[in-house]
Structure 1
Amino acid sequence: MGHFECFILLVVCEILFLPYTQELQTSQSQVLAQLRKHLEYPPALQIWENYNGDFCNLSSEHMSISCQENSVTELKIMGDKNLKVRDFNGFAAPNQSLSEKFSVDSFVTTLSRLPNLRVLSLVSLGIWGPLPDKIHRLSELELLDLSSNFFFGSIPAKISTMVKLHTLILDGNYFNDTVPDWLDSLSNLTIVSLKSNRLKGQFPNSICRIKTLTDIAISHNELSGKLPGLSNLTSLHVLDLRENHFDSELPEMPKGLVTVLLSKNSFSGKIPEQFGDLGQLQHLDLSFNNLTGIPLPDLFSLANISYLTLASNNLSGSIPEQLNCGEKLGFVDISSNKLIGGLPSCLYSSDNRVIKYDWNCLSIDSQHQHHGSYCKEAFIRGKQSKNTEIMIVAAAIIGLILVIVLLALGILLLRKKKGARRTYKQHILPKIVQANSPSGVCSELITNARFISQAVKVGTQGAPVCRLFSFEELREATNNFDVSMFMGEASVGQLYKGKLENGAYVAIRSLALTKKYSVQNLKVKLDWLSKLHHQHLVCFLGYCIMSGEQDDSSANKVLLVFEYVPNGDYRTYLSENCPEKVLKWSDRLTILIGVAKAVHFLHTGVIPGSFNNRLKTNNILLDEHRIAKLSDYGISVITEEIEKFEAKGEGSKSRRANIVTYPCRSHKQNLGDDVYNFGFILLESLVGPVVSGKGETFLLNEMASFGSQDGRRRIVDPVVLTTCSQESLSIVVSITKKCISSELSSRPSFEDVLWNLQYAAQVQATADADQKSDSIS
């Protein structure tokens, strides 16, 4: 065949195949349009409307598409229908899910016409119904994320044929069958996350055979029974089984574990000694279980352990005085147990270590320990336990001596009489074995295993009780309010650092009041403030009210005592002045999520709610683990009363002095103020600290720059740009704009803010995992 004939053949082939290529592109676009219709035209896909261009590489704040060889390979859509208001026949209320016309079967059928999909993420789109088996037609999938929808029923068994899956995330749905026992068919699976469903039954043994797993997260479900040994999972780094109903003893764990979260189950028995060999372990939470015995000493000295909580169990006895603590150990919580005796020197709070030990029967800090019959039982058991240990050791020594003596006698008698050896075996040895049997120990352990701590019953979670401090106690703690203990002027009042008699550090806010301020009224407000307990709020420990000299019913000063948070404020970690401290994007998201959770709790978790919470980056404090804790919350409840009195005349003050008033729910504008102020916190997280007085001007002139890549490169903190994914950044930029909207009605709820931040963190985590995987490969 000549060159000319070959040329003609090539042209003919191109002509023949050209319509097919064009048809393939059209079919993919048609599938995308059909999916949009199935999802009832969500706002996230509004960009598709009247779009005539190439869908490949199209992206927005809540959606992205990637293609390869004219086929869609990645489809990520994040909707806004995540709010689960109430149950409705096993799934969410219809006003938050797609309409009754929606067919999940038809939707998945349409989806399967994208056969080359490798990444599928459909989050918070209101999709409801049982997930169809035909999802397995997407055989090329490597990542499947269907979080925060309304799927119910079983996880389809056909997923077991999707052998390329390495990430399966079905969090926040209503799956209510058992955890599949076929997961080991997915030989490449590294992450399985089924959090916040209604899964029941036992932990499947099949999971124990997936040696590629790095993360197992099945928390907030209804799993029960025995947790099998997981030591074969040599790649496992994260195990999260919180808030289930496991009631077995703790099994052996893989030695490579970094994070173990097993709180709020019913695990019983002693902490296995093998836990003391987990050299990579950084975060261990065994709180709110029924564990017994003395806390395992080796846990405290692990090389990498930084966070250890054994709170609200039935641990008893005394901790060894010679206990060693690891250098990285920064937080320990052994509160709400039955521990007796003193504390080892390494378990005293310091600038570098926070220790919580309240509500035991310890011989220190008696004001925050149990008393009476509760401790009497603990002392008896501790003494019995100690006596039992002594008896066992003594019996073993005596037994060993007897064996040696009897063996010597036996040898001697053997020389004199050959039959003595048989008599020795039949009559002497059985008595020695009985003498070494530790009678009574097993029944005691069984009794302890059935004990349910009082903290679990009342749901206190070990929260400290607000107490009344004396002025002398606080004056001594601050060395008579010495200038060396002065931490500066707060938004309201002055702040001092103090050291209590038990060695614990506190922050003391000195607040001057109007002389006619009612002590009765103030106590009501302070008692309300003491009920605001949240892991991301600086804990309010107590107060000291200083009354007027001639009238005990009025106050002129109050000292508020809070926990001391050692690592400074969030603003410092955003500043270019301290480059070694500047936080990368994922760390900033973690802090922002913590603060958003705290504010959402202040708005909705207490009655009445707390608003106008003085949200600023320098009121976000970081503890030794860089866990965010919001300060200055609820202060407006006190200060608004002061301002109200100062605004009125003395006669008005006198008439109102003895009227008890409760903090009331503020107007909608006040709610918006917290959202608006949090928007500034988000802004500073994006661009770095905003100079005082520059904020409003900066917003007016620069916010439009976020809309372009060049604009972002110009104004966004370089640390953020180099550590973030563009999708994650876009989500936060979008919610920031909404928070600082000049129209109050356009601002989102804090629930919306929180969800967007959590989604941004999830997107960032996926991007980080992909980048890590690429670097390894």
Structure 2
Amino acid sequence: MAKPQLHNSYHFLLLLLICSCSVHLSKQLQQSQYETLMKIQELLDYPPVLNSFYNSSDLCNIEPTPSLTLVCYEDNLTQLHIVGDRGVHPLPQSFSSGSFFDTLGGLSSLKVLSLVSLRLWGAIPGSIGQLSSLEILNLSSNYFNGPIPVQLSYLKNLQTLILDNNNCSGKVPGWISSLRTLSVLSLKNNSLSGVLPSSLKELETLRVLSLSRNNLSGEVPDLHNLRFLQLLNLADNHFGPDFPNLHNKLITLVLRNNRFQFGLPGELSTYHQLQKLDISLNGFVGPFLPSILSLPSMVYLDIHGNKLTGMLFQNMSCNPELGYVDLSLNLLVGDLPSCLEVGNMNRLVLYSNNCLSNVEQMQHPSNFCHNEALAVKVLPHKENNKKPTAKSVISLSMVGAALGGIAVVGVVLLFVRKVYNKDSMKIPATCRLIMDNVSNVNTLKLLSDAKCISQTMKMGATLPVYRTFTLEELKEATDNFDVSSLIRESSHGQVYRGKLTDGTVVAIKSMKMRKRHSPQMYTRHIEMISKLRHRHLVSALGHCFENCMDDSSVTKIYLIFEFLPNRTLRSYISGQKLTWIQRIMAAIGVVKGVKFLHTGIVPGIFSNHLKITDVILDQDLHVKISTYNLPLLAENKGMGYSEVPYYGMKARPLARTQQDEKSDVYDIGVILLEIILGRPITSQNEVVFARDLLQVSITIDESARKGIVDPSVMNDCSEESLKTMMELCVRCLGNEPRNRPSVEDVLWNLQFAAQVQNVKNNQELV
């Protein structure tokens, strides 16, 4: 499924550059260049995409296809485009990238070279500098590693450089500024690190700069002079803390999932050509700029997961073309603007976890946003008014940071000591020994862990603060662990239902741990558990350690979780209780939970082996994942979801490879199958059969698709929404992990399916 036009500006520009090349087909290619192409075919091990070489003596007149295009001018080859399939035709072990590019050097007249998804590997050799006529170079979706070679600086005519989806490492080189005609620089999804060179500001012809999904960090250099820049994508790095200085002619600006802080610059209100703005999952504070909603070109706005404040009013204006808005997980108060109400406009709007009034999506009480805003208030505006010099800014920042750090640490230490001393009076001797050695250190670690605090505030703000419980509290909550409170018991431990003194119902997991490891090892696991707090996860609320009186070699660990009734997504779907749009929104909740497991904490949690019976819905149809992969202790392996929520984590080794990320995408695909078909999928054979059924129906017509969807929603779902869901499901269930979509792409497509479904629902109401 194609994404909206604003997401295609990158590809449109590339096509425009390619088409601008002068083309004149010849009757015959030079013999030396013909032999070079034959050698390239041999080095690539005769891939099927080059089979047409066998059927033509005049390669210049081969009919172009999406996989192969050759363009000649007079008797020289000027463009070579080869697009393979990374997983179908692996290269032989004898392949050498050096030999391959040495051979390409024979095509000295090339202006455009595109070698995509050919499984090319090794370092990009310096011999690429021989192709001095190159204007466009695209080596994306291969396995190139190592630094970007300096010999690329020899290509003085280069206008487009694309190295996406490789394993390139090292820094973005400073010599990149020597490519004075560069219009497109795309290096996304590599392993680049370090800070960006300040020389980027010298690329005055740059139109596209895409560096997402790397390990880049530090301040973004001043790019205000790049007045032709239309697309800037820095997502999924570690940039920050200041908002970058940019020209206001941008069309797409993506800063998602970085470390930006402080306030938004007022100049954003002058970005009249801006169509897409995504600053989500950062640490922005201070006032939100409502004028962004009415920017004349704005169609996509995502600010969720920050600490932006301010009051919204019903009479605020929005751009009529605004199609997607996510304001959730901020500190906004007031009323949702009427122009964003779903019933009035054909758009998808998310705004939960603010303090708005008279709205449907979940909100905090108004005092929550006021208190949180006070807690994160900063002073950059006062400093800006004084306009200090650069040296004074650095000096004041260092002094202020030191004094502020000392003050915060002092307050925290006093608070912790006070609370700890108070609690220690209540703790029985059986629990006190381990808590003396572990819990106090653990609490200090959690309070000083900025990542944990940030994510907790952003994603789990509706939960009580994670804390250490006393054994007396747990006994009181469970009537001294009475059998009437027991939910489940196994050889590994018990799960109890408890009710705290404030009325909160919790699930208490009791586990016996042999003292094979130090208390500090247990603490590391507890620290990770404490960070897993998200609105779409059954989250931990606290823990308690206890020494067993009858066996000094055994320690008990109590983990306290949210309590949810056992109403799984499968039971809702099989019972025909969910509408089509409710099913999509449930899937969105699942994917957001998985996305948090992958990116919301460090290290991420992958290979979660998610099942539809692991997805719990509360009475408001709010989705939470009850079981996910966190190794606590080897003694507790194999304890997973049963007839009731497990309220814990599956014990499997942590894994962080791309393949493990895509295994979670496959599990999401199986859940989508049940959502679409409306019946349980219980075996791998059923998955394969159902996937093939969907694949066939996609290629036929609407009646075929409506014939296999759950009859209870057959007349409810729109054609475009159903087809989007089916296409997404089939992609998630692809046999080759690397061909499955990313979690981010899955979320985008689900939101699109919800958007087009809402359009249909609104039309039916009119």
TM-score by length of 1: 0.53
For residues 295 and 104 of structure 1, what CA distance do their matches in structure 2 show? 50
For residues 232 and 508 of structure 1, what CA distance do their matches in structure 2 show? 47
Change (3 A) 1:602 1:668: farther
For residues 191 and 162 of structure 2, what CA distance do their matches in structure 1 show? 15
Matching of residue 43 in structure 1 with residue 33 in structure 2 = no
Change (3 A) 1:380 1:444: farther
Partner SS, residue 179 of structure 1:
coil
For residues 578 and 58 of structure 2, what CA distance do their matches in structure 1 show? 59
Change (3 A) 1:527 1:67: closer
Change (3 A) 1:544 1:508: farther
Residue number in structure 1 paired with 2:58: 54
Listed one character per residue, the Cα deviations across residues 343-386 of structure 1 (whole Å, up to 9, x for unaligned) are 4444444341433221234455598234699657326559x899
For residues 705 and 211 of structure 2, what CA distance do their matches in structure 1 show? 47
Q: How does 1:54-73 map to 2 (within 5 A)?
A: 54-58=58-62, 59-73=64-78
Q: How does 1:104-183 map to 2 (within 5 A)?
A: 104-183=97-176
Change (3 A) 1:120 1:351: same
The Cα of 1:98 is off from its aligned counterpart by: 3.1
Change (3 A) 1:493 1:167: same
Q: How does 1:291-440 map to 2 (within 5 A)?
A: 291-319=284-312, 323-352=316-345, 353-364=347-358, 368-370=362-364, 377-378=371-372, 380-381=374-375
For residues 669 and 309 of structure 1, what CA distance do their matches in structure 2 show? 38
Gaps of 5+ in 2: 1-25, 384-399, 409-447, 460-529, 540-561, 566-572, 596-611, 624-658, 709-726, 746-766
1:248 to 241, 251, 262: 241
RMSD (Å), alpha carbons: 5.1
Residue number in structure 1 paired with 2:679: 639
Change (3 A) 1:612 1:221: closer
Change (3 A) 1:296 1:460: farther
Partner SS, residue 30 of structure 2:
helix
The Cα of 1:465 is off from its aligned counterpart by: 9.4
Q: Are the aligned partners of 1:468 and 1:542 in contact in 2 as well (CA < 8 Å)? A: no
Matching of residue 34 in structure 1 with residue 39 in structure 2 = yes
Residue number in structure 2 paired with 1:700: none
For residues 57 and 370 of structure 2, what CA distance do their matches in structure 1 show? 78
Partner SS, residue 69 of structure 2:
strand
1:203 to 176, 196, 200: 196
The Cα of 1:171 is off from its aligned counterpart by: 0.4
Change (3 A) 1:340 1:634: same
For residues 298 and 126 of structure 2, what CA distance do their matches in structure 1 show? 43
Change (3 A) 1:141 1:507: same
Partner SS, residue 47 of structure 1:
helix
Give the residue type in structure 1 aligned to 2:302. T
For residues 496 and 102 of structure 1, what CA distance do their matches in structure 2 show? 54
Partner SS, residue 135 of structure 1:
helix
Residue number in structure 2 paired with 1:517: none
For residues 23 and 608 of structure 1, what CA distance do their matches in structure 2 show? 52
1:673 to 687, 690, 703: 690
For residues 92 and 192 of structure 2, what CA distance do their matches in structure 1 show? 25
For residues 607 and 134 of structure 1, what CA distance do their matches in structure 2 show? 40
The Cα of 1:679 is off from its aligned counterpart by: 4.6
The Cα of 1:288 is off from its aligned counterpart by: 0.6
Partner SS, residue 248 of structure 1:
coil
The Cα of 1:206 is off from its aligned counterpart by: 2.1
Residue number in structure 2 paired with 1:274: 267
Identical residues among aligned pairs (%): 31
The Cα of 1:442 is off from its aligned counterpart by: 13
Q: Are the aligned partners of 2:68 and 2:83 in contact in 1 as well (CA < 8 Å)? A: yes
Listed one character per residue, the Cα deviations across residues 200-235 of structure 1 (whole Å, up to 9, x for unaligned) are 111222222222111111100111100122221111
Q: How does 1:558-637 map to 2 (within 5 A)?
A: 604-605=663-664, 610-611=669-670, 634-636=675-677
For residues 112 and 442 of structure 1, what CA distance do their matches in structure 2 show? 57
Q: Are the aligned partners of 1:280 and 1:303 in contact in 2 as well (CA < 8 Å)? A: yes
Residue number in structure 1 paired with 2:590: 531
Q: Are the aligned partners of 1:312 and 1:462 in contact in 2 as well (CA < 8 Å)? A: no
The Cα of 1:635 is off from its aligned counterpart by: 4.7
Listed one character per residue, the Cα deviations across residues 88-121 of structure 1 (whole Å, up to 9, x for unaligned) are xxxxxxxx96343222111111110011111111
For residues 385 and 176 of structure 1, what CA distance do their matches in structure 2 show? 36
Task: State which structure, 1 or 2, has the greater radius of gyration over its C-alpha atoms.
Answer: 1
Give the residue type in structure 1 aligned to 2:363. Q
Q: Are the aligned partners of 2:29 and 2:77 in contact in 1 as well (CA < 8 Å)? A: no
The Cα of 1:275 is off from its aligned counterpart by: 0.7
The Cα of 1:183 is off from its aligned counterpart by: 2.1
The Cα of 1:301 is off from its aligned counterpart by: 2.1
User: How many residue pairs end up in the alignment?
Assistant: 486
Partner SS, residue 304 of structure 1:
coil
Residue number in structure 2 paired with 1:453: 455
For residues 71 and 133 of structure 2, what CA distance do their matches in structure 1 show? 14
The Cα of 1:672 is off from its aligned counterpart by: 4.6
Matching of residue 74 in structure 1 with residue 79 in structure 2 = yes
Matching of residue 231 in structure 1 with residue 224 in structure 2 = yes
The Cα of 1:181 is off from its aligned counterpart by: 1.3
Q: Are the aligned partners of 2:273 and 2:296 in contact in 1 as well (CA < 8 Å)? A: yes
Give the residue type in structure 1 aligned to 2:455. S
Partner SS, residue 37 of structure 2:
helix
Give the residue type in structure 2 aligned to 1:54. D
For residues 157 and 242 of structure 1, what CA distance do their matches in structure 2 show? 26
For residues 685 and 170 of structure 2, what CA distance do their matches in structure 1 show? 42
For residues 537 and 298 of structure 2, what CA distance do their matches in structure 1 show? 24
Listed one character per residue, the Cα deviations across residues 521-561 of structure 1 (whole Å, up to 9, x for unaligned) are xxxxx99996355999xx9999799xxxxxxxxxxxxx989
